Structure 1
Amino acid sequence: MSRKPIMVKTMLHNETDSSEQLHRRRFLKGLSALVGSFAAGQFIFGNGLSVAQAYEIVPGGIQGKGQILTALQLEQLAQVCRQVLPRTETPSAADVDCHGFIDNQLAHCYEAREQLRVIATLNNLNSAAKNQYQLMFTAVSDTQQVQLLNAIDTGQPSFNKSQTNDFKFLKSLICFGYYTSEVGATKELRFDPIPNGYKGTVALGEDDSNWGSQGLFY
């Protein structure tokens, strides 16, 4: 797929439902480009997609420590997921256990370098929360969490370019987790098990080449 990637903005809570819906529409508009470029290379190839499909949501979300993240880190990640893709008429990213999904993906599909990028992002958000509000990220208000996430997303003075890039990596994992979940795939996105319908018989002329099996290799 040759389509150029576009930046997918973090969708965060705002004061009005109409503003929140606008963010979600913008997010969905850019999702196809995200999946077609970055996710195709980082998630679908290798065992990323098969591990994602095999993951089972943990009822209630957080149950102790993860495979890579501690219990406190999972709690913080759940709050980040909840702010990035909040609950509207459909569940939030935290509601569908994206934090547990990410921990599982990190354990089975990524090396230590990528695991440390996620941990570093959580630590950077905690440090910024302590500096600005004298509290851990999980203890500050929703509005303050949004301010911190917007700051790291846009590379404001308290965060450098490397930290912003690490957060964008985490954001892509949240997006991948949400839109491969049942809710994300069937409620947020259009879902058709057989897109464009099923054609049981396709005319084939005498001199036409037969159909190949390219679909078997994707």
Structure 2
Amino acid sequence: MVIDRRAALVGMVGIFGANLFAPLARAVGYQPNRAINTGAPAVIFTPAQRALVGALSERVLPTTDTPGAIAAGVPEYIEHMLGDWAVNDDRATILDGLTAIDARSMADYKKPALKASAAQQDALLTLAMNGGLPSAIPFFQAFRQLVITGYYTSEIGITQERHYLPVPGDYDGAYLYSKVKRIFSA
């Protein structure tokens, strides 16, 4: 049995609890009579915003010994979620946050956030996380949730970052913890 993206998304709800970003909650609470867009996502971002979403999502989940957010298709996932499951206020949270990050980058580094170094982008995200930008905390929490759910519900997140063990699987009550190399999911 292969886990589908919706089942994985339902599992992610427990991570965020009551602070779940509204489009994710709507996707989890899918009504069968509502049509889902399975085609191309609605165009929400400008090309510059799309590139910035890619760069920032890669800072949240960078490429290491496993693929990062861009390889997992997280920027496309975010645009799809905002296009299909978000209302204008939800979109504004993300779009206003991107604008605030870009404005702060121009003020601090004299260049757009997309052209900033990885360390500068990390500093901008840290500033947003700590409430140092206008409307930053709602943006950062929503953006991080979208990145994490996009990554860990993707094929890369499920099969390469985590080790999928179909249930029922073998039980080994004496399995040595030292042998655990990854987080297991079922």
TM-score by length of structure 1 reads 0.62
Secondary structure at the aligned position of 1:86 is classed as coil
Give 2:143's aligned residue: 170
Residue 36 of structure 1 and its aligned partner are, at CA, apart by 5.9
Residue 32 of structure 1 and its aligned partner are, at CA, apart by 7.8
Please report the RMSD computed on the Cα atoms of aligned residues, expressed in angstroms.
2.7
The code of the aligned residue for 1:34 comes to: I
Residue 51 of structure 1 and its aligned partner are, at CA, apart by 5.5
Percent identity between the two aligned chains: 23
- Of 144, 147, 160 in structure 2, the residue corresponding to residue 187 of structure 1 is 160
Q: Distance in 1 between matches of 2:81 and 2:115?
A: 27
Q: Distance in 2 between matches of 1:51 and 1:184?
A: 22
Q: Distance in 1 between matches of 2:168 and 2:108?
A: 50
Q: Distance in 1 between matches of 2:169 and 2:130?
A: 39
Q: Distance in 1 between matches of 2:112 and 2:70?
A: 19
Q: Distance in 1 between matches of 2:161 and 2:112?
A: 32
Secondary structure at the aligned position of 2:164 is classed as coil
Secondary structure at the aligned position of 2:111 is classed as coil
Give 1:34's aligned residue: 15
Give 1:125's aligned residue: 101
Q: Where do 4+ consecutive residues of structure 1 move more than 4 Å? A: none
Specify whether residues 188 and 35 from structure 1 end up closer, same or farther in structure 2 by C-alpha distance, changes over 3 A only: farther
2:42–2:83 CA contact under 8 A, matched in 1? no
Q: Distance in 1 between matches of 2:163 and 2:16?
A: 15
- Of 65, 68, 88 in structure 2, the residue corresponding to residue 112 of structure 1 is 88
5+ long unaligned stretches in structure 2? 1-11, 171-186
Q: Distance in 2 between matches of 1:36 and 1:189?
A: 21
Q: Does structure 1 residue 134 correspond to structure 2 residue 110?
A: yes
Structure number with the bigger relative contact order (C-alpha 8 A, sep ≥ 6) is: 2
Instruction: After superposition, give the CA deviation of every residue in 1:74-121 in whole Å (9 maximum; x if it has no partner).
Output: 000000011000001111101222111110111111111111111111
Instruction: After superposition, give the CA deviation of every residue in 1:26-49 in whole Å (9 maximum; x if it has no partner).
Output: xxxxx78416663774541126xx
The code of the aligned residue for 2:81 comes to: Q
Secondary structure at the aligned position of 2:165 is classed as coil
Specify whether residues 35 and 154 from structure 1 end up closer, same or farther in structure 2 by C-alpha distance, changes over 3 A only: closer
Q: Distance in 1 between matches of 2:13 and 2:95?
A: 27
Residue 189 of structure 1 and its aligned partner are, at CA, apart by 2.2
